[in-house]
Every structure is written in structure tokens, then in C-alpha cells.
Amino acid sequence: MNNVLVITASIFGQDGQSSQLVRKTLAQLRNIHGEFQTTYRDLAAEPVPHLDASRFGAFLASADDRDGDQQRVVDYSDSLIEEIENADAIVLGVPMYNFGIPSVLKAYFDHIARAGLTFRYTENGPVGLLADRPVYILAARGGIYAGTPNDSQTPYLRSFLGFIGLKDLHFVYAEGLNMGDEQKESALQDASANIETLTA
């Protein structure tokens, strides 16, 4: 393992529980694989712009027809995709906000879903074009949602990441973090144990 792409999205930055779980995952990966390079993308500190008609139009325009602004949009999207392509693994911190993923993470996804680059449509349906690699997803939640109808994150992440070719997904949940100190401590201990199991 030479390079790991690290993506965090907590509004609390590196103090967020999902970000702390990300750090534990990186430490465990280093214990197993030795040192590796990391590419950090903190979506809360440096948000990806939300998709609008102008940015979407830049993706649709042919290379010969793009103006300067459109080319800058495409170059930025290309750089995000290149980070994934250069990574041997991805470590993704995902807090839950109002039953969903952070809006900055959705904006990031909107910029890496590019027809002809990360997916294509065929007569048999869509095909992901990114080479598969391990994706470790650290999900931090105030309540308990895994395995219930209120867990909108897990199926969405499976669907979207699979759509672009990333199917080797490993979920670690830390749940009930706002349900008292005892529950929080227990959830974080369980998550740490699961990180050790998954990364091994």
C-alpha cells in the first residue's frame, strides 16, 4: 500500500467523532502495512462547490466548446477523480446529519460522477469505470440506525460508490453517541475493535 486517500466531512473538523475514527483507521493500516503516503481532503474545511446548472453544463460541454470558466470546473473535477485513481485505498469519515450524509460529501460525489470517466451506460445498465479498491467507511451517528429503515446512508453509499466501480466497502459504525456517556464510550470501543478486525 503506497497511497491512501483520506476524506473527512465533519463540521467539527478533526475533533469530530468520524474524523477521530478515521485517524484510528489510518493508525491501524500503518500497523499492518507500514508507512504510506496520505492525500487528505477535508470537505468541511475546503468544501467542494455544490452542483448548479453552470457547473453541470461544464461537464456536458465538449472539450472544444468549453470556455475558460468551464475548463476550470472540469479541471477541478478531474483532479478529484485523479486522487481516487492514485489511491490504493480510501478512508472515508461520514457523520450523519438529519438522516443523511453531509451536503459537502454529496457535492463531492456530484463532482466525481462523470460519464465516460467514472461510469458509462450500456445496454445492460450502468458500469463503473474506476478500478475497485478497499473503501473504509467510518460512520458516526448520534442515534442508532444501522439495520433500520432510518439508515439512509448505508444503501446510498453502496449504490453510489458501486455505480462508479468501488464495491470493496467496509463499514464501521459508532452509534448512539448522543445517548449518554456510557453508550458513547461503549460505541467507540466497539468501533475501535471493528476497525482492527476490518483492516486486518
Half-sphere exposure of 172 toward its Cβ, with a 13 Å CA cutoff?
Answer: 28
Binding-site residue positions for FMN: 10, 96-99
Residue 158, C-beta contacts closer than 8 angstroms, at least 6 positions apart: 169
Maximum pairwise Cα distance, the chain: 60
76: number of Cβ within 10 Å? 14
Task: Give, in degrees to the nearest 5, the angle at Cα 119 between 116 and 121.
Answer: 85
Look up cell 463532482; give the residue: 111
Binding-site residue positions: 10, 96-99
